[in-house]
Amino acid sequence: MSERTPAPSTEIWDEEILSSDGLERWDGEDNVFRMTASISPIPTLKDLLTGLAQRLEVWESPQDLERLYPQTLRTGFQMPQSSEEDILNEFGTLEDGVLEPAAKEHFQEIHIQQFCVYRAPQHPQSPGQFEYLSAVVSELAPTEDYTAGLAEPCWLIDGLLVYRGLVRQIFAAEVIAVEIGELGNLEAHSTEGSIWIMTVESEKKNYWYRLQLPSKVYLPYWTNFAWLADFAKFFLDYLCIGNSVQLSDFRSKFWTWLLGLHGEKLQIWHTQCAKRTDFRQHVLSYAPFLYHEACVLGRKGTTNEHASRMSHPIWVETGVVKASQTRRAALKSLKTTVTPNIAASFLRFSAWQRYNLLEVLPLSSQVEAYRARKIRQWGFPDKFKVNQREKAALILEEAGEQNGPVDVSHAKELLGKVVVVRAKKDDGQYEFNYAWVRKTMSKTISVIWLVLPSDTICGSRGDATVSYPIGNELFFSDQCSCEDIHIEDVVRIVEASVLQDPTAPGSELFVQSLYREEEEAITNVTESELSCRCLLHGQRSSEGRHLHPTQRGNRPKLRGLSLFSGGGLFDHAFTSNGSSEIVFAVEHCEIAARSYQANDDTNCTQVEIGSVEEGLDAFASGRKPLPEIDFIIGGFPCPYYSTLNVFRDTRKSQKNGSLLANMLSWIELFLPPYVLMENVPNMDRLRPNACRQAICQLVALGYQVRKSIHLDSRLGGASIRERLFVVAAAPGVILPDRLVDTHGPAGSGLRKIRTVSEVIGDLDTIENDTSINIRDPSHVPLHRLGLDFKRQVSYRSLVRQIPTQPECMSLSKTYYNGGLLPHQRRFFEGNLHPTKQARNSQCLRRVDPDAPFRTVCTITSPMDARFGGHIIHPLEHRTLSLKEGGRRAMGMPDRFLLAGSVEEQYKQCGNGVPWAMGAGWGRNFARAWFASLDRRAQTQGEASGTASITWNQGDVCRVKTSTPKEDADVIVQKRRGLSSTLYDGDGGGGGDDGGNASDSSVEIIEVRPVKKRKADCTLDGAEAD
């Protein structure tokens, strides 16, 4: 085909439309179907089948026609003269004359062989296609008299009816009910031979068709359904004999009971599911079908039997019975509950104020007492008590206006003082900065630069909305301060509290923390660290300064509170090394909460299904006692902050973004020693910058804070998902190290980045239309490609045309390479928006097998041109499966359980944090926690059994040294002896944490004084060599 640009289309399309109104006729000249008047006022089923057959012949590939559709839908097929009604009348005349219809409680049965079940032409999805009987069961939902639940029958069956020696063929019989026998019969080993269907015609005579051997082409559908029917029987049998059956019973207990009951008769059935003994994911994946069969069984037994069967906890655990009566409409209008300080912090967020999103909660006396105890326990300063708005900026401005040297007789009068110094710029103007004098000569001083909050991660350049709430605080800086400053450039001496109580009388400003610019962190600091980094011997950053034990020993676990918990992927990865546990979690989506609980093997987590707004209110008011926790973990909703959000200014979107303020309020309420927050990196780029405002609030509370962005594939994960993390630690504990890359490109010296082919290469081949996979319920396509009647195309056939070589081919590339069939080219040229027609369009694009996965989303959209279309399997003609594109892409262990439909499970994956990230943070937090406990124990004089490096903040003293040129005064720190220390540990933690996440190395194995030249007596003598 010659290359050309397709004609533009004004239609924007993202979802398949799989239905058509009226009849179409085939126009052989133009090779298209055209709408025409109906042959009759109401088309007959035969008319509909004939029209569908004509379309399928053009739109579907020969392979798919043979594999997915019945003989009835072959072009030229002629319906037999005898109808189903005629055949049943013939059967009724055998032997005893015409038979009257049987009573409802008694029925006649007729065997049906070589059968296949398929969707009727008027079915809203994939008309004409074979389907599992489980899908028929779920849609029909028969009532007690077996009348169809749908407005009209949408399922058809072909087959051979066998009755008293007569064999007759029926076609397109309309199915209205499916019945599975032997449910609740413990003596029966299978449902084989005990599955019936009823049609419109057979219902008139109360005849049931007993399903026997299927047709060869329908055999895969029947085999999988028969296995599932047996599983439903075994499941319900277990409920009959079990007491308070729970999901955990199906880890191994169920199989042990089943094997003991049926023995070798289960061999074939057990082999079909790969001889698994853990059936929990099967229960979760097929819960709606199991529940439906339980309800059907309930109509046959007594009321007490049915009530007992439906009372088991497993129905709630799987999510098919809703325990939570969440008022979704009310939640949408619910305001974001916050504490007073948090509300004040976000006053400049005009959209939040315009929509009146925040509701301020008063704190009860019980909460205030709890907070006071936490402040003492973890050493939090109360900065809000001494806050003077804009004081630091005002003093600097006044010093600049005065711009005159201070009156001092000797430089040593400035030692240990906070001063304002001036520096002349190239244009002759002066700039003014704060500094702390650490060393003096006769006419010069050496300083540590001090910075305003706006010059740290508490500020956002060019964004006046971000405001640090404490106006009289400065921060030490790790900027180079090697050059001495003449005392004539000191223009003001400021009364300030340095590394002391901020409430010290007479202090205008206070300084307590160090801003580490390259690390993007604000940390604790001791005077021994206050030296120019250029003079240090060894690593200057805070990372590696602390020796972190890797084994918990007899130390207590970290106890966590989780917010916006989702399916629990982040939390369970974090706790996977066994050093921490979540004791309380809040999640508003019930099906996601059921996934969370399913993976809580120790049953240690209280999962609250509800909103974080109501949860905060319950704790703040004192209605609920506050649990004892050591960290808060959570990822507040990211859609507001996402680059894909083009409706950011709506109330719904702004409400979504304001949940950050709610999470900060939980932190202010509980004041845990540790905090871990996550979201998309774009959160730190938007205006107003909510990320920086959140950091402002955490630092104002007294937390040490680190901000970092990490890429999943660089940490051993399988995707290019990037996440922003904000880590906070109370003053009384050690701030966890940032994650360290373990994987990288060739030549980086790191391990090779994992690729799609490596991650999914072990999985079985499946088809586009696989919706039951008894070997692995999660290994089913995320999106079932089908027909689009409106646009006269089969997306399944389109994907077949997209070659697997070269790699990463897409619909548009295939079109421009001449690879589409004529009717597919017309579809491309006449139905797609120009963005979908572009050469770089992602529509139906195959995944690159030699690269990591793209970022996992929450919905699938194979025809999305921007992002979502990059979801086609690299080698097979289908979308990625849930296991491939959801679970494996997120690094989720195969044992991890997910509740809900395929769509719901994929959404939980997309809302999660990759396993490698969560596991890496879990290890780093555990090490920091253990080291903090050891340090606190040693400080308190308690024997912890493990040595640790500690130092005490002693009194400041002056030490005078002589140099050949001049005298020098310096500030030094009284400290106890520092000994060589090395922790033992295997470096891997105490449990299964995924094995691929970041692992922080211990870099300091010895601490000793560094020899100093007499002329340069500074404060770095205790640093590592």
Decide: 635 and 678 in contact? Cβ < 8 Å: yes
- The SS3 of residue 416 is coil
Q: Rounded to an integer, what distance in angstroms lies between the CA atom of residue 997 and that of residue 712?
A: 9
Q: Rounded to an integer, what distance in angstroms lies between the CA atom of residue 8 and that of residue 625?
A: 63
Going from the C-alpha of 361 to that of each of 212, 342, 562, 633, the distances in angstroms are 66, 10, 20, 22
Q: Provide the H-helix boundaries in 806-875.
A: 811-816, 822-831, 834-837
Decide: 547 and 524 in contact? Cβ < 8 Å: no
One-letter amino acid identity for 119? Answer: R
Closest CA to 418 of 530, 337, 342: 530
CA atoms within 13 A on the CB side of 682: 12
Going from the C-alpha of 90 to that of each of 95, 107, 256, 606, the distances in angstroms are 11, 17, 50, 64
- The SS3 of residue 660 is helix
Q: Report the 10 Å Cβ neighbour count for 987.
A: 12
The encoded tokens of residue 173 equal: 């019989």
Is 638 annotated as catalytic?
A: yes
Q: Provide the H-helix boundaries in 247-364.
A: 253-262, 267-272, 280-285, 287-300, 303-310, 314-317, 328-333, 340-345, 350-354
For the chain, report the end-to-end CA distance as a whole number of angstroms.
70
Decide: 509 and 492 in contact? Cβ < 8 Å: no
Closest CA to 283 of 257, 243, 249, 307: 249
* φ and ψ of 203, to 5 deg: -65, -30
- The SS3 of residue 543 is coil
With a CB cutoff of 8 Å and minimum separation 6, the contacts of 684 are: 691, 692, 707, 709, 724
Q: Rounded to an integer, what distance in angstroms lies between the CA atom of residue 488 and that of residue 430?
A: 13
The encoded tokens of residue 64 equal: 């798919």
With a CB cutoff of 8 Å and minimum separation 6, the contacts of 1023 are: 528, 529, 531, 536, 537, 538, 1010
Q: Report the 10 Å Cβ neighbour count for 818.
A: 10
Q: Report the 10 Å Cβ neighbour count for 75.
A: 13
| Catalytic residue (one of 116, 532, 638, 1017) | 638
Element (H, E) at 758: helix 756-760
In terms of C-beta density within 10 A (0-12 exposed, 13-18 middle, 19 or more buried), how is residue 225 classed? buried
With a CB cutoff of 8 Å and minimum separation 6, the contacts of 342 are: 661, 664, 665, 668, 697
In terms of C-beta density within 10 A (0-12 exposed, 13-18 middle, 19 or more buried), how is residue 344 classed? middle
- The SS3 of residue 387 is coil
Decide: 781 and 879 in contact? Cβ < 8 Å: yes
With a CB cutoff of 8 Å and minimum separation 6, the contacts of 503 are: 382, 385, 386, 497
Q: Rounded to an integer, what distance in angstroms lies between the CA atom of residue 699 and that of residue 969?
A: 33
DSSP 491: E
Q: Which residues are marked as active site?
A: 638
